[in-house]
Amino acid sequence: MPNEQKLDDSDRFNLMLALTGLLVQGEEYEIADLVKHFGVSKNEIIKAVKMISFTDLMSFNDFGHYLVDYDDLDDGYVSIKYDFSNAVDEVPRLSSRQASALAAGLVYLSSLPGLVDNSEIEELQKILASGDSRGAAPEVIIKPGSRDADLVIIRDAMAKGVAISCDYLNLRGVTTIGRVIEPLRIDPQGETIYLRGWCPESQDVRSFRVDRMRNAKATEIAISAEARAAVLSDEIYSPAETDSIVTVEVDPEAYSLIFDFKPVEEPESISAFVKRFKIKVGDVRNLGRIIARFGGAARVIAPESAKAAVREFALKAIGENSPSAPRDVE
Amino acid sequence: MTNKPSNEYKVSKPERLFSLTCALLYTTRGLTKTEILRSVRGYDTEYVEGGDNSSLERKFERDKESLRHNGIQLEARIPAHEDENNQATVYLIKRESFYWPKDIKFTPRQLALLNLAAEAWAGGSLSTAASRGITKLRAMGSVGEDSDIVGIAPRIQAYEPSFRDLNNAVSDYQVVQFDYRNPQTGEIMTRTLQPWLLRQVAGQWLVMGFDELRQDTRNFMLRRIVSKVTAVKAGKDSVSFEPPAKHLIDAAVADLDALAQKQTALLRVKPDTEAWFRFELDLSSAKHTGEVELHYHDIYVLAEQLREYANEIEVVRPESLAALIRAGFEKVADQHA
């Protein structure tokens, strides 16, 4: 279940519609279950139920209330009875935007191998289209490129609760054959799929890019208690004390860097659409390829050592040597 | 057990919208604006009989907009005998446009998939729409049952500032304008577009639609939009367009895919490098040539992707791709001198 969200007026109205649609079916629910089911706080559920109960249609009818027992509410239970029909008495449809956002999310899921059958997605898409108030088709299509079969193996291993082994090419370009990883969670982020896993060797959580793996196999080794107890942060990259701070400037064509790097503070607008921000970098030598790939749309402003790393990478790529560039130690 | 709030209680916006929805669903003949303001909870206490209710009327206009954004189709009718008399306009919500078709219920697994689809937008451009949508859908799934989908936390990446405005324009059939940078010349031009669809191709977001300048369907890459996306206005109102026929959209999608089928690049890849992994060359195969052929939509995006592997690959063809990669590196070297 998602973390409890912060609600604004439109969210609350939306929650009231949904709750009414559910509760008028006549069943009694534990508030704690509703909190879990809707992913909002207990307070928001109670507030929404109370607001529903304040509604009246007395001006149009002799009766007209959603009836809620406040004693039950205090005891942690909720049910709604109503003494009129033809107001909100079922779950309302989605708006086009709501349907479209969910449909796009489903298409994204369907691109991840081994997670869902296309038939499952198609069925859900059909239901969504029927519940879109305009009956419209999805407005957003996401269809990433090729995907690794390795992901299917990883998901199988996770289901069985065992570690995997694979050949892994690390950032420095070194391949480890038969590296053992205890898989904990798969984090697909746009085009890149990460495996968050426990590394038994370093006794720590590590992030692995699935596209740098080869020959993944499920092992017989059960996922350890240490791995199961590990806490996964939302961030793929955890900054270290030794990281350098680098200032980068980007045109819109390279805005993706802002999201890849999670700047240390809000990006600053330099001109209409040029942004400047500071990032933490473990090893500035890795910056060369990351910046140079944009062919000019991303620029390192400081420090000098990071600029030199980018220059070095670009010059080496076109077969020239940079006299002032630092020697690569490794 | 009628529930009444205390006298000083101020009716909040969600509560007013809910009461308005109930009243408009309940009525079969429709309610006039005056009837609504006089009797619906949230307006009624502020209504002045025979006085100036203009601020309350503005509130009602905003509320109508809020209902529409929530997918509620408000209908406005002028009764036949009142011919052209705007004051007589009545409002109502038709039940069949409001509710789901009968008997839709989600299994725990389906609901879990939909949850995951909504969560994939977390913090992203459509997160609000997705989370409101999933709230409604949850009301149609069983409370308290768990599913088998665990251990995956997907994130859709749509960071372009224009994404949300374009998506809204697609939903509302609104003609938009933006400045677009040509990747070849760097020239910036204002374009006017009837946006049909947002589409991600090879990791890049495109908006597809009818380009009013070229009078033809065109694709624009969101990352090359270098201005705000604004609605085109005629006087005070935004200009909207006729929803495109489905076959036109399908044809435009197919055209773009056909383009990628037609455009290929041939690369030679150094064995055992990251590029080797990236292009999924089989390490164990005894006779690999190290050559790989790629299809591409956009040569500039491909050049960018390949620059990352500059020292591990050689572009065999097309020559223009090799030149583009090199020109980019020269520019970078200059910028970082």
Would you list the DSSP string of B54-117? HHHHHHHHHHHHHHHHTT--EEEE--GGGTT-GGG-EEEE-HHHHBPPTT--B-HHHHHHHHHH
d(CA A161, CA B277) in angstroms, rounded, equals 27
Query: Rg of the Cα trace of chain B?
Result: 27
CA of B37 vs chain A CAs: smallest distance (Å): 12
| DSSP structural state of residue A328 | P
Instruction: Tell me what percent of chain A is helix, strand and coil, each rounded to the nearest 5.
Output: 35, 25, 35
CA of B245 vs chain A CAs: smallest distance (Å): 11
Q: Which residues of B touch A108 (CB under 8 A)?
A: 117, 120, 154, 156
CB contact under 8 A, A185 and B153: yes
Nearest CA in chain A to B153: A187
User: How confident is the model at residue B8, as a pLDDT?
Assistant: 65
Predicted confidence (pLDDT) at residue A139 exceeds the cutoff of 70: no
Residue of higher predicted confidence among B60 and A143: B60
Helix, strand, or coil (residue B178): strand
Residue of higher predicted confidence among A98 and B278: A98
CB contact under 8 A, A37 and B143: yes
Condensed to tens digits (0 to 9), the pLDDT of residues B193-204 reads 999 988 888 778
Among B97, B113, B201, select the one facing A106 at the smallest CB separation. B113
Q: Which pLDDT band holds residue A312 (cuts at 50, 70, 90)?
A: very high
Q: How far is CA B75 from CA A149, B26, B89, in A?
A: 51, 13, 10
The CA-based dihedral angle spanning residues A217, A222, A223, A229, taken in that order and rounded to the nearest 10 degrees: 180
Ordered by start, the domain boundaries in chain B are: 13-98, 101-156, 163-256, 264-335
Q: Are B192 and B211 in contact (CB under 8 A)?
A: yes
User: How confident is the model at residue A238, as a pLDDT?
Assistant: 67
User: How confident is the model at residue A1, as a pLDDT?
Assistant: 40
* Alpha helices (H) along A90-181: 96-110, 118-130, 150-160
User: How confident is the model at residue A328, as a pLDDT?
Assistant: 38
Nearest CA in chain A to B173: A139
CB contact under 8 A, B327 and A92: no
Which residue bears the tokens 């064509």? A253
| DSSP structural state of residue A253 | G
Answer left, alpha or beta for residue A21, where phi above 0 means left and psi between -120 and 50 means alpha. alpha
Q: What is the CATH number of domain B163-256?
A: 2.30.30
Calculate what percentage of chain B has a pLDDT beyond 70: 91
d(CA A78, CA A55) in angstroms, rounded, equals 17
User: How confident is the model at residue A133, as a pLDDT?
Assistant: 58
User: How confident is the model at residue A85, as a pLDDT?
Assistant: 66
Taking only residues 92 to 121 of chain A, the set having a beta carbon closer than 8 angstroms to any beta carbon of chain B reads 92-106, 108-109, 112, 115-116, 120-121
Q: Which residues of B touch A134 (CB under 8 A)?
A: 73
Residue A49's CB: how many other CB atoms inside 10 A? Answer: 24
Predicted confidence (pLDDT) at residue A130 exceeds the cutoff of 80: no
Predicted confidence (pLDDT) at residue B282 exceeds the cutoff of 60: no
Long-range pairs for B5-12 at CB < 8 Å and ≥24 separation?
Answer: B5/A50, B5/A54, B9/A54, B11/A54, B11/B41, B11/B42, B11/B45, B12/A9, B12/A12, B12/A51
Q: What is the CATH number of domain B13-98?
A: 1.10.10
Predicted confidence (pLDDT) at residue A105 exceeds the cutoff of 50: yes
User: How confident is the model at residue A62, as a pLDDT?
Assistant: 57
Task: Compute the mean pLDDT over every residue in chain B, rounded to the nearest whole number.
Answer: 86
User: How confident is the model at residue B246, as a pLDDT?
Assistant: 83
Q: How far is CA B99 from the centre of its chain?
A: 23
Q: Which residues of A touch B141 (CB under 8 A)?
A: 37
Residue of higher predicted confidence among A262 and A250: A250
Q: Give all domains of chain A, ordered by start, each with its CATH number.
A: 9-82 (1.10.10), 96-130 (no CATH), 150-229 (2.30.30), 244-317 (no CATH)
Predicted confidence (pLDDT) at residue A164 exceeds the cutoff of 90: yes
For A66, counting Cβ atoms within 10 Å of its Cβ (0-12 exposed, 13-18 middle, 19+ buried), the class is: buried
Highest mean pLDDT among A45-54, A182-191, B44-53: A45-54
Query: Rg of the Cα trace of chain A?
Result: 26
Which residue bears the tokens 């620029």? A299
Q: Which pLDDT band holds residue A86 (cuts at 50, 70, 90)?
A: low
Nearest CA in chain B to A303: B336
Highest mean pLDDT among A162-171, A307-316, B240-249, B282-291: A307-316
Would you state the structure tokens that stand for residue A304, as one six-digit string? Answer: 């000098």
Counting DSSP H helices and E strands in chain A, the numbers are: 11, 14
Which of these, A97, A306, A216, A219, lies nearest to B167 by C-alpha position?
Answer: A97
Q: Are A10 and B132 in contact (CB under 8 A)?
A: yes
| DSSP structural state of residue B287 | S
**Which range among A62-66, A245-249, B101-105 shows the weakest confidence by mean pLDDT?**
A62-66
Q: Which amino acid is at B237?
A: D
Predicted confidence (pLDDT) at residue B130 exceeds the cutoff of 70: yes
Average pLDDT over residues A286-308: 92
- List residues bridging with A189 in a β-sheet: A192, B155
Condensed to tens digits (0 to 9), the pLDDT of residues A24-39 reads 888 899 999 999 889 8
Predicted confidence (pLDDT) at residue A237 exceeds the cutoff of 80: no
Nearest CA in chain A to B205: A142
Q: A273 and chain B: CB distance < 8 Å anywhere?
A: yes
Predicted confidence (pLDDT) at residue A216 exceeds the cutoff of 80: yes
Among A1, A14, A259, select the one facing B136 at the smallest CB separation. A14
d(CA A262, CA A240) in angstroms, rounded, equals 14
Q: Are A155 and A203 in contact (CB under 8 A)?
A: no
Instruction: Tell me what percent of chain B is helix, strand and coil, each rounded to the nearest 5.
Output: 40, 20, 40
Condensed to tens digits (0 to 9), the pLDDT of residues A107-124 reads 888 877 767 777 888 888
CB contact under 8 A, B310 and A289: yes
